[in-house]
Amino acid sequence: MAATEFAPAKINLTLHVIGRRADGYHLLDSLVVFAGVGDRVSAILSDLPSLDVTGPMAAGLTGEGDNLVLRAARVMGVSARIALEKVLPVSSGIGGGSADAAATLRLLARMTGRALPGAAEVLALGADVPVCLAGRAARMSGIGEGLAEVPPLPQAWLVLANPRVAVSTPAVFRALVRADNAPMPREMPRLRGVAELAAFVAMQRNDLEAPAMAELPVIGRVKAALSAQAGCRVARMSGSGATCFGLFDDPLSARAAAQAIRAAEPAWWVADAPLLQPQS
Ligand SMILES: C[C@](O)(CO)[C@H](O)COP(=O)(O)OP(=O)(O)OC[C@H]1O[C@@H](n2ccc(N)nc2=O)[C@H](O)[C@@H]1O
Ligand SMILES: Nc1ncnc2c1ncn2[C@@H]1O[C@H](COP(=O)(O)OP(=O)(O)OP(=O)(O)O)[C@@H](O)[C@H]1O
């Protein structure tokens, strides 16, 4: 019987780029959360390794030689038949590949009893893999390896919208004019309720928004479409784009907003989902 692991979308509620290392990687200060929409990785241990990709976004991975799922399985040293249900758009700023790699590591560790790989091997799979492996809201620093716990976040709902245009993360970082921007406040406040969370997000930044929008002006339309929805407390871009998120108080207003955007922009990918709370 196959075992399955959920690979939730990663959302950068904030993304401050605060430095640049000699090797070109950027130092980040980011409030990262996860949404209840994502891919699904299933596996059966087998001497004949394989990967079968299905789902609405599978086409985005055709011609993908070295899928991050297979790389993660190799890092675990496990041979398996793996199925990936691809729901999240590829190269969209919500960590799809990193989420899949992290889910594969968790799944194969659970199935075999093997230990998870060390921090350096996890980071080598992708800068977003450490936070996706932790799978809970965190303040992410360094190039992605620093993870600090954040005070509990309120129940909130997200609407994610993507114009179905893939964004190259390296290209957006390259287009960034300044890499020495201010970090978030030293202490993360305890945010009680969606209004306070949204006010905090509104006071922070995603420093990759300007370069991403300069390259792809449609991202501005995506953000504006979310902002215009009734009940949207704040809208921002996630990661290097093009996906933008809107924050909502309740599932009904999030669902209504998602339906309205879908009706107006049938070519876009739109999802509504809760902000995932840590399992206690
Ligand atoms: C933008 C974020 O999504 C924010 O969470 C991540 O930092 C990107 O994570 P990722 O897609 O897993 O990134 P990787 O696959 O490791 O790196 C892709 C490319 O992005 C750039 N990159 C990535 C992470 C980082 N801290 N600084 C960078 O400059 C580098 O050019 C790198 O070659
Ligand atoms: N399982 C996978 N899912 C998605 N992309 C993958 C996968 N395996 C390899 N890739 C490759 O990884 C690259 C980044 O894809 P991904 O969807 O993770 O980007 P992203 O959403 O911008 O991530 P991030 O928010 O971490 O920058 C693409 O070039 C894609 O072809």
Task: Count other Cβ atoms within 10 Å, centred on residue 47.
Answer: 7
Tokens 């590949």 belong to residue: 97
Q: Do 81 and 57 contact (CB within 8 A), yes or no?
A: no
What is the rounded average pLDDT of the residues 90-110? Answer: 97
* Residues making up the chain, counted from first to last: 280
For the segment 122-132, what is each residue's pLDDT rounded down to a tens digit? 999 999 999 99
Q: How far is the CA of 170 from the centre of ligand 2 (A)?
A: 12
pLDDT at 142: 98
Q: Do domains 3-146 and 152-274 have the same CATH topology?
A: no
Handedness of CA 29, 33, 37, 39 (dihedral sign): positive
Structure tokens at 275: 């902000």
Tokens 């989902």 belong to residue: 273
Structure tokens at 6: 């959920």
Q: What percent of the chain has pLDDT over 70?
A: 98
Q: What angle, rounded to 10 degrees, do the helices at 68-76 and 96-112 form?
A: 30
Model confidence at 3, pLDDT cuts 50, 70, 90, reads very high
Is 86 an active-site residue?
no
Q: Which atom of ligand 2 is nearest to the CA of 100?
A: 1
Contacts of 260 (CB under 8 A, 6+ apart): 229
pLDDT at 66: 81
The residue whose CA is least distant from atom 12 of ligand 2 is 97
| Binding annotation for ATP | 89-99
Structure tokens at 13: 């509620």
| Given the residues 10, 39, 207, 272, the one annotated as active site | 10
Structural domain boundaries of the chain? 3-146, 152-274
pTM of the model: 0.97
Structure tokens at 221: 């339309």
For the segment 248-273, what is each residue's pLDDT rounded down to a tens digit? 999 999 999 999 999 999 999 999 99
Amino acid symbol at 4: T
Structure tokens at 189: 């406040």
Q: How far is the CA of 142 from the centre of ligand 1 (A)?
A: 11
pLDDT at 64: 64
For the segment 103-117, what is each residue's pLDDT rounded down to a tens digit? 999 999 999 999 999
| Given the residues 128, 207, 249, 272, the one annotated as active site | 128
What is the rounded average pLDDT of the residues 222-231? Answer: 98
The residue whose CA is least distant from atom 6 of ligand 2 is 97
For the segment 55-77, what is each residue's pLDDT rounded down to a tens digit? 999 998 876 668 999 999 999 99
Q: Which atom of ligand 2 is nearest to the CA of 12?
A: 25
Rounded to the nearest integer, the mean pLDDT of the chain is 96
The finding on whether 12 has its CB within 6 A of some atom of ligand 2 is: no
Strand 80-85, strand 26-45: pairing: antiparallel
Angle (CA) 149 236 132, round 5°: 35
What is the rounded average pLDDT of the residues 189-211? Answer: 97
Considering only 15-29, 37-51, 56-70, 150-164, which range has the smallest mean pLDDT? 56-70
Q: Is residue 9 pLDDT above 60, yes or no?
A: yes
Taking only Cα atoms into account, the Rg of the chain, rounded to an integer number of angstroms, comes to 18
Topology classification of domain 3-146: Ribosomal Protein S5; domain 2 (3.30.230)
Angle (CA) 222 126 219, round 5°: 10
For the segment 149-191, what is each residue's pLDDT rounded down to a tens digit? 999 999 999 999 999 999 999 999 999 999 999 999 999 999 9
Q: Do 29 and 139 contact (CB within 8 A), yes or no?
A: yes
What is the rounded average pLDDT of the residues 193-212? Answer: 98
DSSP H or E run through 40: strand 26-45
Q: Is residue 32 pLDDT above 90, yes or no?
A: yes
Q: Is residue 86 pLDDT above 90, yes or no?
A: yes
Q: Which atom of ligand 1 is nearest to the CA of 123?
A: 16
Q: Is residue 10 pLDDT above 90, yes or no?
A: yes
The finding on whether 206 has its CB within 6 A of some atom of ligand 2 is: no
pLDDT at 2: 87
DSSP H or E run through 29: strand 26-45
Lateral strand order in the sheet of 269-274: 234-237, 244-248, 157-162, 269-274
Q: Do 83 and 42 contact (CB within 8 A), yes or no?
A: yes
Structure tokens at 225: 């479409």
Handedness of CA 245, 249, 255, 259 (dihedral sign): negative
Structure tokens at 231: 């009940």
Topology classification of domain 152-274: Alpha-Beta Plaits (3.30.70)
Model confidence at 13, pLDDT cuts 50, 70, 90, reads very high
The residue whose CA is least distant from atom 3 of ligand 1 is 239
